[in-house]
Each structure stands twice: as structure tokens, then as C-alpha cells.
Amino acid sequence: MIVYLTRREHFNAAHKLWVDKWSEEKNFEIFGKCANKNFHGHNYDLQVTVKGTPDPLTGFIMDAKKLSNILKEKVCNVLDHTNMNLDDNFLPKGILATTENLVYYIWQEIEPHLDENCQLHSVKLYETRNIWAEYFGE
């Protein structure tokens, strides 16, 4: 029996999408308002799903509180109220803070800290209620 458990967390962060070697016109053509020079913020909604077989005694695949603490410590507290372009404390240099890149790097941060009897299934990140990216470790 495999069960999927999801924990949701939240952070606010600013970014700007910009490729230095492109002209201003090309940046705005590709990134639209996300290229605005003075940055802008998003209210990010992070949803992380783990999977596994419930422990016969606790009924847990992983303590959801512990999962929450990992997400806060490794991701939300690191990114919350930061400028993801300037603060340079999460994404490698030169990696743009798109939702697609963030889900990959969030996976790398949290995967080593999960309980042994469960696996990370997906990292889903909403940038707005209409745009999100999801990563399954492929």
C-alpha cells in the first residue's frame, strides 16, 4: 500500500527575469513584466508530496510536522522576504528564479532530509494561482 502525503508551506520573495546578454527589448519580449528593472514579488505556495507505506504503529509515512519543519528550515526561511536575484543564498549563480528552476533546486535541498521509509514524490510551486511548476525528480 503506497500513500501520498502532501504538506503545504508559503514564502514571499522577489525576483526579476533577465538575461544580461539580451537587449532590453528582447528581455521584455520574452519575460514581459517579470523583466521590470526594480524587481517584483510573488506569494509562493509550496506543496511537497512524499510517498510510502504507513508505519503499522503510527500510521504515518512521515510525520507531517517534521516535513513542515524541513520545508521551513531548508526552503521557506531561506527564501522568505528575499530578493532571489540579489540575495544569492539559494540558487546557483546565473540560474534565473523561475518557478521551473525553483522546484528543481527545492527538491535538491529537501530530498536528503526525508525519513528513510518514504520517498519524495513531487515538489509543486505556485507562483500565482494560475501558474505553477511541478518536479518529479526526473
Q: Compare residues 34 and 48 and give the one whose CB is closer to Ni ion.
A: 34
Question: One symbol per residue from 20 to 59: x for binding Ni ion (CB under 5 A), - otherwise; what is it?
Answer: --------------x-------------------------
127 an active-site residue? yes
Q: Which is nearer to Ni ion, 97 or 123 (CB)?
A: 97
Q: Which residue is nearest to Ni ion (CB)?
A: 34
Contact (CB, 8 A) for 98 and 128:
no
Tell me whether residue 81 is one of the annotated catalytic residues. yes
Q: Which entry of 34, 42, 76, 118 is annotated as an active-site residue?
A: 34
Asked if 109 is an active-site residue, the reply is no
Cα separation, 26 vs 18, in Å, equals 10
Could you tell me if 81 and 95 are in contact, meaning their C-beta atoms sit under 8 angstroms apart?
Answer: no
Of 66, 59, 53, 78, residue with least CA distance to 114: 66
Residues 108-125, buried b or exposed e (16+ Cβ, 10 A)?
A: ebbbeebbeebbbbbbbb
Positions in 81-100 near Ni ion (CB under 5 A): none
Name the residues annotated as catalytic. Answer: 34, 81, 127
For Ni ion, the binding residues (CB under 5 A) are: 34
